[in-house]
Amino acid sequence: MDDIHRQIVYEIKRAIRFLGAEPEAMRLSTPKQCYEALEKLGAHPHLLANVGSWKDTLSDEDVLETMKTWNAEQIRIAPRHSN
């Protein structure tokens, strides 16, 4: 697995955490495995489209950038809890 592939999987794991699951228990080494995991978790269609295009119509760089943007947006809109 090359470096950019590892970075994409890392970002997908972050997205899975935003969906309330623990990615460590999942097999996420191929684009298909990543897509199926997100699909089972009810991921947003735009997220599924991005991951589904990985190794198909989008370059690795485009998928990585889109995943980073997606995760940054999830952080921005996440509810803030005060103590």
| Within-domain flag for 37 | yes
Give the global pTM.
0.89
| Within-domain flag for 80 | no
**pLDDT tens digits, the chain, 83 residues: what are they?**
799 999 999 999 999 999 999 999 899 999 999 999 999 999 999 999 999 999 999 999 999 999 999 999 988 876 654 44
- Give pLDDT, residue 73: 93
| Within-domain flag for 25 | no
- Give pLDDT, residue 78: 67
Range(s) of the domain holding residue 40 = 30-73
Contact present, 54 and 62 (Cβ < 8 Å): no
**SS3 at position 54:** strand
- Give pLDDT, residue 2: 93
Looking at the structure of the chain, the number of domains it has is: 1
| Within-domain flag for 2 | no
* DSSP H helical ranges for the chain: 3-18, 31-40, 45-52, 60-77
| Within-domain flag for 6 | no
